[in-house]
A and B are shown apart, each in its own frame.
Chain A
């Protein structure tokens, strides 16, 4: 297609609109239901001139510098153009006029009204009026015969009439339309149009077609239709040359016909499919302006060749394929088509237009080749794509006959890959868009920064959630700051540079103890601050020069470094800085973002080295920051919240989808903060929008986290989700303590307890479901003393094999724990327990692997105590590398371990057996040492059958461990009561 559909733009408020060009074609003039007439210099004119003509404007016409409008006060007014000064009232009706039009010379105006009358008024003397009576319902539209003899009108009574103006009589009338009682109820606006210049034809939109009536004979001489037009045509307009007719329909379809051939030469759909209610050709014929019932204005451009150059040929040859179509649709110069084929191709089966529509909406890769051809309106296609494109174009070009191809201009390679996505702009997380007059410049956990930028005021309000931090501040925004951040220490503001002034960074350091609470830095010329953030004791600003500048909070310049790409946003917390930037160009709606996490302070390092940021499909970043506990977190436009999982190699885990909580499709949650403990996502519900308004003051709501695990409707899924969520959201304890912060030990132990409880519940559940393997998997996640509970549960519910495996596991765990014991702990009792556990492990775990045996032997052989400790510790360090920061916590686990290992000893079948049989062994070999006794015992125990061992286990377990368990349940293990409740014994 040769013409280009420019994006629509907002013109008026929702409702009926009308559009026309001025005589020179320099301005587009629109009117709408807001009562304004707007004069646009072009579609890109951001500041159109507005003239208010009333409460509502129904129609307008413009000629010779006189703008005539039909307004809601039942008058037809004149304004001068382009000044817009009122120039009197042309005529009045008893109700509002619905359509007005000029004659070709501009000497008369015809107006149709809802009071069933049509008036024809002389411009130079408004007392010279002719009234045409005869319609029995409101008038829909009027049009002058270019020779000024006749006038045609359409009415809601269903008739289209032609009047002789001088005699004020009806010449003819056709019942063509559906009847209705008012213009707003009419199916179509039925804007008639008389062919300019020749004045031979009158075009009447009837349903989905346009009927052509001949002057004088008043006979129907043709119908213009389009297979794809499924909805009624609202408005038609002739090209200034009179060769083409454009029509706009209810469904937003814009069609241009060549009237001679009655073929559709151009077809475009409205980008949103709204009803087209105004249509006008540019006086040169190269442009069509149209407006819709939503108040938007659009332009089809690039029609120039079609109207001007081809018109000559069309009229002369009278063939259906004018030669000049070459320049009309340059991409079909060498198209081997003939009439027959094209007719065939019009069959609905092919339905080529549909594909056009699709292409307009979605750049499907399969058709990208053709699509690019649509876009390139000035060059021919390459031959390869031509073949494919053929049948699709046939319909549009109609019967373009092939000319011996004069030859295609040098072929240009056509790009047929995925289309790049426009990169998202830099933004400040927690702010609403900068174009709003009243906006949040920042809403975070510290407070709110609001920006006002209206007629009276350009100011910034800073307010703190906690008034203990600082009192509220009101600043005048003389510099025009657009970005802001707020912390417990300072407010940071920045403005973009202008022609004269450099971009400035301003910091209100309110927590400073000296009297100077403010500093300001000018950036080098041409460098603009795009994003900024505050950390603890520092501030950072990312600039358009792909640079990140660090400042101390007192205003000293610190490090600066280059960013790998244009910044999207940055966030700070404590000594961490998170930067997100464009890694490259995204395609097909995706953004290609990279993320860096830097750590300042004592251990300066880069934690995340510019890895890709995993966004949802076709979404962009909408919030970036840290949780209150310091875990990086981000949210994309699909509402998915992702948290950095430090224990999983710094991967991002989705923890919540805010859209799941929305009721309506267009509702969103605007996130203001994320907290891990308690698990809260603080956000503002926005009904029907993405951003909250500043007034009335929005209230914060709290959303829960929910990992997107499978089958969360089942009990199993729920518990799994709870468990992993708890694990994930308590990762920050590890980070905090490793970076030397204080941690809430109570909270941590609470969390651990909760996790163990969940594990125990899951264990009980999988036992109930006879999933013993899964039970063991779960037990592997448990701490050692919870495993003992699991063992009890298993043995009580008669699952001996499970209990056996669990006791193996418990011993292994005990071993590991002891390996972690600080080496300095070398008292006797500890060593004993260690040895005992070791031996117990080896024997009871007869089914176990090789490593256990060696482990047992190591600990047994060792006569001195030190090697044992060393050995076991070296074996376990690989698994749990917590020693450096767990140190302060060491005393507690240690005591636990001691109890536990004692406890486990009682539990183990072999231990029990050994106690019973020690005497026998000693009697048999009185000279054996302790270790040899045990060796001997292992041998004997192994000879026992499995059943035998179980029996022993059963017999001994209760009797030996009862008292221990009882004491345990009361003193040592806070978990016990709840776990017990789960046991269906």
Chain B
């Protein structure tokens, strides 16, 4: 899966917008949306919110967790804990990127939020690398992926799987001779 696909999935998340137009309910395969009343918040998927925003048809109300104080708390917790902590949204990274890129004027303290989310992301990715490292070095058979988001799993999946494959090959090639095993591991 490449990141754009994950982003595509993230666009199905629901976000609140305040439209500046009036429209009846619209009926879509994924469900009914609206009705849209000017000035009244309404829940729509992110893809529609961004589309409307680009056409200057709405203001986006940032999700509740997209708030400097809350993110700071999460960052602190993430730094303190050794394991992965629950994230505010399964698509926090994608949503932050999408909303901040397209609607930063509707989000108070957009820059700070960008930094905070990046910090959280970096901390988590560092943890992920660390655990992958210990996973390989200790020859574990399985690993728990609690509280990992799709995007995070995807950043490491291709590399990790290829590596494991490669190592497996190396090992199995060495197996018959069995002299060098200790050297490899």
Contacts and interface: CB of A to CB of B under 8 A. Distances in A.
B3 interface: no
A702 B40 CA distance: 8
Contacts of B57: 467
A623 B55 CA distance: 35
B39 A699 contact: no
Contacts of A582: none
A696 B110 CA distance: 13
A682 B42 CA distance: 13
Interface string A681-725: 010000000000000110111100000000000000000000000
Contacts of B16: 699
B40 A464 contact: no
Interface stretch (B18-26, B159-167, B168-176): B18-26
B20 A465 contact: yes
A464 B40 CA distance: 12
Nearest to B56: A467
B16 to A, nearest CB: 8
A948 interface: no
A468 B22 CA distance: 9
B21 A700 contact: no
Contacts of A14: none
Interface in B28-77: 37-41, 56-57, 59, 61
A468 B40 contact: no
Contacts of A447: 39
A380 interface: no
Contacts of B37: 465
Contacts of A468: 21-22
Contact of A467 (B20, B40, B61, B108): B20
B61 A699 contact: yes
B38 A466 contact: yes
A468 B38 CA distance: 10
A287 interface: no
Given A696-B108, A699-B61, A700-B18, A465 B41 contact: no
A700 B20 CA distance: 13
A445 interface: yes
Contact of A700 (B22, B41, B56): B41
A445 B39 CA distance: 8
A119 B67 CA distance: 51
A696 B20 CA distance: 18
Given A696-B108, A699-B61, A682 B21 contact: no
A465 B39 contact: yes
B68 to A, nearest CB: 12
A464 B18 contact: no
A681 to B, nearest CB: 12
B60 to A, nearest CB: 11
Nearest to A447: B39
A464 B61 contact: no
Given A464-B38, A682-B40, A699 B18 contact: yes
B21 A699 contact: no
Interface string A465-478: 11110000000000
Contacts of A699: 16, 18, 41, 61
Interface in A421-455: 445, 447
How extensive is the interface on chain A, given as a class?
10 to 19
A558 to B, nearest CB: 30
Nearest to A696: B108
Nearest to B61: A699
A466 B39 CA distance: 7
A466 B22 contact: yes
Contacts of B59: 697
Nearest to B107: A696
Contacts of B41: 699-701
Contacts of B61: 699
A695 B108 CA distance: 10
Contacts of B108: 696
Contacts of B39: 445, 447, 465-466, 682, 700
Contacts of A445: 39
A700 B38 contact: no
A447 B40 CA distance: 11
A701 B16 CA distance: 12
A699 B37 CA distance: 14
Interface string A277-290: 00000000000000
Nearest to B20: A467
A466 B22 CA distance: 7
B58 to A, nearest CB: 10
Contacts of B18: 699-700
Contacts of A465: 20, 37-40
Nearest to B35: A678
A468 B37 CA distance: 12
A503 to B, nearest CB: 31
Interface in B62-105: none
A699 B18 CA distance: 8
Given A696-B108, A699-B61, A466 B20 contact: yes
B10 to A, nearest CB: 23
A447 B38 CA distance: 9
Contacts of B56: 467
Contacts of A700: 18, 39-41
A447 B39 CA distance: 8
A107 B119 CA distance: 61
Contacts of B38: 464-467
Nearest to B106: A697
A591 B21 CA distance: 40
A394 to B, nearest CB: 57
Contacts of B22: 466, 468
Most chain A Cβ neighbours within 10 Å, of B18, B37, B59: B37
A465 B61 CA distance: 15
A468 B36 CA distance: 13
B40 A466 contact: no
A465 B18 CA distance: 9
A699 B61 CA distance: 8
A699 B107 CA distance: 13
Nearest to B22: A466
Contacts of A464: 20, 38
A701 B41 CA distance: 8
A682 B39 CA distance: 10
Most chain A Cβ neighbours within 10 Å, of B20, B22, B41: B20
Contact of B21 (A467, A696, A702): A467
A399 B100 CA distance: 76
Most chain A Cβ neighbours within 10 Å, of B21, B22, B39, B57: B39
Interface in A493-518: none
A668 B38 CA distance: 23
Nearest to A463: B20
A465 B21 CA distance: 7
A702 B37 CA distance: 12
Nearest to B36: A466
B32 to A, nearest CB: 15
A466 B19 CA distance: 8
Most chain A Cβ neighbours within 10 Å, of B18, B21, B40: B40
A701 B40 CA distance: 8
Contacts of A682: 39-40
CB-based closest 10 A-B pairs:
A465-B39, A465-B38, A466-B38, A467-B20, A696-B108, A466-B22, A699-B61, A700-B40, A699-B41, A466-B20
Given A467-B38, A468-B22, A682-B39, 20 more contacts: A447-B39, A464-B20, A464-B38, A465-B20, A465-B37, A465-B39, A465-B40, A466-B20, A466-B21, A466-B39, A467-B20, A467-B57, A468-B21, A682-B40, A697-B59, A699-B16, A699-B41, A700-B18, A700-B41, A701-B41
24 contacts: A447-B39, A464-B38, A465-B20, A465-B37, A465-B39, A465-B40, A466-B20, A466-B38, A467-B21, A467-B38, A467-B57, A468-B21, A468-B22, A682-B39, A696-B108, A697-B59, A699-B18, A699-B41, A699-B61, A700-B18, A700-B39, A700-B40, A700-B41, A702-B40
Interface of B: 16, 18, 20-22, 37-41, 56-57, 59, 61, 108
